[in-house]
Chains A and B, each alone.
Chain A
Amino acid sequence: MSTGEDVLFWVLAPLMVLAALGLLFARKAVHAAVCVVFVMISLAVMYIAQDAPFLGVVQIVVYTGAVMMLFLFVLMLVGVDASDSLVETIRGQRWIGVLLGLGLGAVLGGVVAQATFPPAVGLASPDEENPVTLARVLFGDYVFAMEVVGVLLVTAAVAALVLTHRRSLEPRVGQKETADAKVAALPSGGRLTPLPAPGVYARNNAMDTPALDASGRPIPESVSRILRIRGQERSATAILAAEHEVLADHEPTRHRDRRDDDAHPDRVTRTTDEEA
């Protein structure tokens, strides 16, 4: 192992451990995911340094690029603000978990550090590229496992569809269908246009006052149905009469009352300015 690799290891390894601890202690799931991405990219660098360039590239493309991005997608989709517990995986105290983890780390690390390994042979071969070597093993010794992994991937695809794919069960109602339905409902009293808005007067634009149509009649549909049912609709006549009074107060000479008693009781005539 050369000094270059030494430096690489001693720079990356502490950072990786810190990032892994970041996964363990992060509050937000997205931070944890980013920590794991860092660990995986560092692993890819280490693979390349350890005579496994193909694996390093596959680690970045498949593991970081596909798997971790899938994690991030799902996080964004469903769980980005869920930081509390959803399901108890194993019921137990936190300290038992910490102790078990520390214990496991100590046992494993200790056992490995004590072991005397044979000197490294290394895999860098001048005859063959790394992918070719791997291909020989893959299609020679492990062809059965490879085919079975194919089945595994089919299973994964089917499983994902079963659990998440919701087909639309009703015919899709788009704009065309809605418009056609409205036109078809016209003979039975449907309407094509939106409802008219409530009336706007000089001193009042509340929702409970009806608008006036071209001939001066108030339009019932311009006030909300609920207010009509409750009897909370305000009379347009009253509003206009109030306006007349205000105008009469301020300009008595200009205002002349033209109300005709024989006309429709709700009809309101406009006062015209008779003085040119």
Chain B
Amino acid sequence: MTTFFAPTVDWAYLAPLVVVLGAGVVGVLVEAFVPASARRATQLALALVALVAAIVLVGTLWTDVTDQGYVDVLGGALRLTVTTLGIQAVVLVLALVAVLVVADRSADGLDAFAPTAAAVPGSPYEELARRKGLVQTEVFPLTMFAVGGMMIFGATIDLLTMFVALEVLSLPLYVLTASARRRRLLSQEAALKYFLLGAFASALFLFGTALLYGATGSVNLEAIAEALAQGGAGGPTAGMTGMVVVAVLLLLAGVLFKVGAVPFHVWTPDVYQGAPTPVTGFMAACTKAAAFGALVQVALYVGTGLQAGAPDTFRALEVALCVVAVASMVVGTVVALPQTDIKRVLGYSAIAHTGFVLVAVLGLLGRPTPEAGVDALGAVVFYVLAYGLATIGAFAVVTLVRESDGARDGVVLGEATQIRQWSGLGRRSPWLAGLFALFLLSMAGIPLTAGFIAKFGAFRAGVDGGFAWLAVVGVLASAVAVFFYVRIVVIMFFADAPADDDAAPRPDGDALVPDVPVRAVRPRAPVLVALVLCALGVIGLGVFPAPVLNLLG
């Protein structure tokens, strides 16, 4: 019996991840041992400190990784390149801002989460919990675990680690979706839908991995790429092309679900609407960043292998991704037009943005060699960063626009998510409406915002990869999208506040109800800092994108 040699662990490269996951574990201990009065402050401080520390650690690793090209940790469990490290950094930065929004209690000192998610909605127990001032502080460690999972998901080339990371990032999100303070029924239903469809997609991903393992004998993407490259008559995958095709499709199906691309987008509007708004912002920004990191890895390695070994299959793969990209852009823009709920509009626009990033991914696939695709990789990372900042900022504003009971300092009720309720907001709260307009314009891709640079980079990467027609479709879809973004801006600034007798039927079937007065809550510290950071990021990246673009190659 040979002796067992334990693998050497490069702690320096694992440090950011260890800090984040460690903060989650310590958070669980805080739940157990810290008295209730100090719990929330401790958890928030722990989360913020951990995220800042992780960002700093990623910064220290940057030059190292750029010099070495790539660094393999623990035999490929993590492969740190400029792209994957960039994805990790993007996830951390967006998570920092998202945690600030999660911690927000601007609306009458109440946060967006139910006092206890285990209470039956509308029961006396829930009322008692609210009066006793219970707070669901487990939100913070769960968020930390999700962030840790996202950091691994976007940075690994081992399909098993990718599957485990997918579950690590998804499970806390399912729970967080179910813990909204208001509209608990909708929240719970959204969580169930997200969970069942997410589990289904994970199972598809896993079966694809199984078939690839059968075809190539490994679950490491690099080894799979080599095996595929030798494909054809003599290689290891001889006679198994059908299986390889099906396997790759299943694999992509799993990742495309997380990214929210058509036809796996069905969950996005419902889950975005039902989840507590800070969690929606977190999901929309960070999950997308991590999932695109994973998609890029899979596409890069499998694409390279197929390109060398089975060009026909590679062509078919490209066609399939093109169809997905076009469908996402079209569905995202067209179905967003008649929507009346602001969270659903942002959900459909997320689908459209997925399509735009897929243009960059296809641009990557269209290059002759992976090395030539560096700018496409940088475009993907920049896009998810720009989109993430705008999204978290937009959802932060949505948490602040509330229905009230009319009195000047009256009780603040739930969020006013109908678009027509936002009319006249520009006059009552110019700063808030201005910020929201900024974020919407960034998503629309107006010049001088980060969104414009991001779209420009993505489409140029697509053109350079031989997909000029796709970039044209993207520009057209963007133009249509500008319409519904600008429409909201116009409603905010140039329409009057809804009159009392101007009642319209609610889309969820309620009878005609007179409009409830809408009020924008004054943002307090956490969400104010988050809004300022997002705004600075969006404008900064729009006006001075060069430093970040150079870092990303």
Contacts and interface: CB of A to CB of B under 8 A. Distances in A.
A98 interface: no
A90 interface: yes
B85 interface: no
Interface string B347-361: 000000000000000
B161 A145 contact: yes
A83 interface: no
Contacts of B132: 169
B192 A87 contact: yes
A140 interface: yes
Nearest to A88: B193
A136 to B, nearest CB: 6
Interface residues of A, number: 43
B320 to A, nearest CB: 14
Nearest to B120: A166
Contact of B118 (A110, A128, A166): A166
Interface string B210-246: 0100110000000000000000000010111011011
B93 interface: no
A166 B125 contact: yes
B171 A155 contact: yes
B266 interface: yes
Interface stretch (A12-20, A112-120, A261-269): A112-120
A87 to B, nearest CB: 5
A142 B160 contact: yes
Interface of A is mostly: helix
Contacts of B174: 159
A77 interface: no
Contacts of A140: 4-7
Interface string A124-161: 00011000100110011111110011011011101101
A72 to B, nearest CB: 19
Nearest to A129: B1
B172 A155 contact: yes
B168 A148 contact: yes
B175 A163 contact: yes
A186 to B, nearest CB: 30
A162 B179 contact: yes
B193 A89 contact: yes
B117 interface: yes
B148 interface: yes
A168 to B, nearest CB: 10
Nearest to B207: A108
A128 B1 CA distance: 7
Given A116-B238, A143-B74, A158 B165 contact: no
A111 B243 contact: yes
B4 A136 contact: yes
A210 to B, nearest CB: 37
A89 B161 contact: no
B239 A116 contact: yes
A276 B327 CA distance: 109
A111 B536 CA distance: 53
A162 B136 contact: yes
Given A166-B119, A169-B125, A169-B132, A152 B167 contact: yes
Nearest to A168: B125
Contacts of A115: 215, 239-240, 242-243
A189 to B, nearest CB: 29
B479 interface: no
B473 interface: no
A107 interface: yes
Interface in B185-211: 189, 192-193, 196-197, 211
A249 interface: no
A230 interface: no
A143 B4 CA distance: 13
A164 interface: yes
B171 A152 contact: yes
Most buried by A among B74, B178, B196: B74
Interface string B465-480: 0000000000000000
A135 B4 CA distance: 10
Nearest to A141: B75
Most buried by B among A127, A135, A151: A151
A156 B134 CA distance: 22
Nearest to A159: B175
Contacts of A148: 149, 152, 161, 164-165, 168
A172 interface: no
Interface of B is mostly: helix
A112 B214 CA distance: 10
A155 B145 contact: yes
Nearest to B162: A145
Contacts of A203: none
Interface stretch (B21-29, B291-299, B376-384, B448-456): B21-29
Interface in B135-170: 136, 138, 141-142, 145, 148-149, 152, 158, 160-161, 164-165, 167-168
Most buried by A among B25, B134, B164, B193: B164
Contacts of A139: 4, 6
A274 interface: no
Contacts of B391: none
Contacts of B168: 148, 151-152, 155
Contacts of B152: 148
Contacts of A110: 242
Nearest to B175: A159
Contacts of A166: 116, 118-119, 125
A165 B145 CA distance: 20
B128 interface: yes
A213 interface: no
A158 B28 contact: yes
Interface in A159-190: 159, 161-167, 169-170
Contacts of A162: 117-118, 136, 138, 142, 175, 179
Nearest to A148: B164
Most buried by A among B152, B160, B175: B175
B77 interface: yes
Contacts of B172: 155, 159
A155 B24 CA distance: 9
Given A144-B74, A163-B178, A151 B214 contact: no
Contacts of A151: 21, 24-25, 145, 148-149, 168
A128 to B, nearest CB: 7
Nearest to A166: B118
B247 to A, nearest CB: 9
Contacts of A142: 77, 160-161
Q: What 3 pairs between A and B have smallest CB-CB spacing? A: A116-B239, A144-B77, A111-B242
Interface of A: 87, 89-90, 107-108, 110-112, 114-118, 127-128, 132, 135-136, 139-145, 148-149, 151-152, 154-156, 158-159, 161-167, 169-170
25 contacts: A87-B192, A89-B196, A90-B266, A110-B242, A112-B211, A116-B240, A118-B236, A127-B1, A140-B4, A140-B5, A143-B6, A144-B74, A144-B161, A145-B161, A145-B164, A148-B149, A151-B25, A151-B149, A152-B171, A154-B25, A154-B145, A155-B145, A155-B172, A162-B175, A166-B118
